[in-house]
Every structure is written in C-alpha cells, then in structure tokens.
Amino acid sequence: MEKILITGCAGFIGFHLCKKLLNLGYVIVGLDNINDYYDINLKYDRLKELGIHRSEAEKENNLVESSTFSKFSFIRLNLEDRENLPNLFKVQNFDYVINLAAQAGVRYSLENPMAYVDSNLVGFVNVLECCRHNKIKHLVYASSSSVYGENDKIPFCENDQVDQPVSLYAATKKANELMAHTYSHLYKLPTSGLRFFTVYGPWGRPDMAPMLFADAMTNNREIKVFNNGEMSRDFTYIDDIVEGIIVTLNHPNKDDFYQLFNIGNGSPVSLLYFIECMENSLGLKANKKMLPMQAGDVVRTWADTTLLNELGYKCIVPIETGVSKFVEWFSDYTNE
C-alpha cells in the first residue's frame, strides 16, 4: 500500500485531503507544527476528527497512531527541522509527499516576515532535500494565486509573467516554484505546484472572509468590506480543491519532471454577491463597513484551469451550495 506524507495536515486543506485519501485506502502520515497563527483549538479539533487526541498531538516529534483511522498517524514537527524531518523520511519510506504546510496569510506577512522565511523558504528546501535523498515518486506542493499579484491579464494563466509579487507571502510562493524547478531539473524529481485560488468550506480558516463574515454577522458586528466591495475572487469549494490535488498526484510530469497548475473554480464571484449568499444562508443581514483597499491585496483573481481540466479536473460545487454547506458546519461547530 502506497504511503503519503501530508504536511500541514491540521490545516484546512490538509485535514480534508487526509480524510479523502484515507477513505481511498492510502497510508497517510500527517505532519503539522500547530503554530498559533490562528486559533490552535480549531487545529486540534480537526486532528480529533482524524482520531488524534490533543494530549498526544501536543508532543513534539512524537509519531502517534490514530484511534479512528488504522492507516493514519500524526507527528508534530517543523518543516525547517534539519535533523528530525530527514529521520522521518528515512524511517517511513514515503512514496509521495504533498506539502501543504506553510506560513499562510498575505496580511500577516507584513507583520511577521521571518515566520515566512523559516517555514516557506527554509522549510521548503528541507522538504526538497528529503524528497531528493529518499527517491520520492512525486512531490505535490501548495503555491498560491497570490503569485499573480496585480496581473492585468484575465483569466490568470500558468504561463503569465509573475515577477511582481505584492506581498512577502506571494514572494515566498514564487520562490517555492523556482526551487522546485531547480530540483526537478537537477535531480529528475517530479514536482507539481498548485496555485490555489480562494478556498472555502467547512473547517475553514478563521482569518479568511467566510469565517470572519459568519462570526461578525451572527454576533451583530460589522463586517469589513475592502475596496468598497469592488473586488472579486475565484472562490473554490474545498471538495473541488481536494479532487484537484488527487488528480495532480496521479499525473506527475514524466518528461520535464516539473509542472504548475491553477486550481480554482474558473468563475470569479463578486465579494458583494458572496456576502449576499452568506446573508441568505444565515438568514441575517450584514452590516457592511466599507473600507479602502488594503496593502498587499489585489482587486480580483480568476483562474484559467485549462491545464488541470485536461487531466480530468472539474469544479462542480456552485457558490450558493458551497456557502450553504459552510454555514451549516459553522452553525454546528460554534453551537457545540
């Protein structure tokens, strides 16, 4: 049975991906450092869903078996750990690696740049080195739509010029793509970078719009609407994202060893319509506070998903359905 290392498994996308691949029968080792960028209780609750008790998950460098999934185990570890990460690779004999661990967030990169250097740069090189020395069949890693910056051409395409990032977070993701290219070229290591477009859904991040809006609206607070609402995002439901990752995992580039894919809905939604969907699902009216554009942010994102579509990827969850499913989860989770 093939074994996959999934880094960032206590994160939003990593959690959902673990559940899906476990249900497909893969052996999964999940890794996360459980940093406090956002509420760690949410991360521990995700791990609990995967059968990992908090008291065990809190221990550093401790591989613990799931009480729910016989083929899942978890280890708390930093990507930049140059001793314990290589040891984990050596002992576990992974077939594949899906690297979703990273310091996330555009705005936070303005406040704490070194966190991005440690995790997204030093940590990613450590992953690449481990993959090289352990003959990993395919490394799939998270990039971001933020690499497109203030790209004027729409929709965004993988061969667009992306040399003007407008945040440090975006710059680190562009750097990941360059480093992966180097390792693919030098060592014939198959790598696939995924430029994620605004992912949302149950168990989502509390620093992103769906959770921020739902929390404010249910507690009768204002929601912050930047650029006076004149923004649009290629909102992509989590189930569609997970399917895209699995499609990519099953299609390494066996010729050039390196590839990049946009992974999004391919159909941008205005921020104001997204808020309207939230209002309809919650049965509440939003009290909108209109604000100017934030530093490091962009007006719109729009994915050209042609390359991934050719491998069999297809987005099937409309925004109305996705928001409804998110709100259903949010209501259950916050009322527990």
- For the stretch 136-148, pLDDT in tens is 999 999 999 999 9
User: What's the pLDDT at 294?
Assistant: 82
- Mean pLDDT over 234-246 rounds to 97
Beta bridge partners of 222: 287
Encode 97-120 in three state secondary structure: EEECCCCCCCCHHHCCHHHHHHHH
Tell which wins on pLDDT, 25 or 297: 25
Cα separation of 19 and 11, whole Å?
12
- Third-level CATH fold of 3-198+235-264+302-316: Rossmann fold (3.40.50)
- Mean pLDDT over 184-199 rounds to 97
Cα separation of 86 and 126, whole Å?
8
Instruction: Dump pLDDT digits (tens) for 251-286.
Output: 999 999 999 999 999 999 999 999 999 999 999 999
Residues 141, 194 contacting (CB under 8 angstroms): yes
Angle at 59 between CA 28 and CA 173, to 5 degrees: 60
- Mean pLDDT over 301-327 rounds to 96
Helix (H, G, I), strand (E, B) or coil at 222: strand
pLDDT tops 80 at residue 198: yes
User: What's the pLDDT at 126?
Assistant: 98
Share of the chain above pLDDT 90, in %: 89
- Mean pLDDT over 160-181 rounds to 95
Instruction: Dump pLDDT digits (tens) for 90-103.
Output: 999 999 999 999 98
φ, ψ of residue 314 in degrees (nearest 5) = -150, 135
Residues 168, 195 contacting (CB under 8 angstroms): no
User: What's the pLDDT at 297?
Assistant: 74
User: What's the pLDDT at 142?
Assistant: 98
User: What's the pLDDT at 275?
Assistant: 96
- Mean pLDDT over 279-294 rounds to 94
- Mean pLDDT over 300-328 rounds to 96
pLDDT tops 80 at residue 177: yes
pLDDT tops 90 at residue 151: no
CA pseudo-torsion sign 203, 79, 110, 296: negative
Lowest average pLDDT, out of 69-83, 129-143, 153-167, 244-258, goes to 153-167
Under the banding of pLDDT at 50, 70 and 90, the label for residue 106 is confident
- Mean pLDDT over 196-213 rounds to 95
- Mean pLDDT over 66-80 rounds to 98
CA distances for 314 relative to 185, 245, 261, angstroms: 30, 12, 13
Mean pLDDT of the chain: 95
Domain boundaries, given as residue ranges, for the chain: 3-198+235-264+302-316
Share of the chain above pLDDT 70, in %: 99
- Mean pLDDT over 290-306 rounds to 87
Helix (H, G, I), strand (E, B) or coil at 242: helix
User: What's the pLDDT at 249?
Assistant: 98
- Mean pLDDT over 68-86 rounds to 98
Active site residues: 169
User: What's the pLDDT at 1?
Assistant: 83
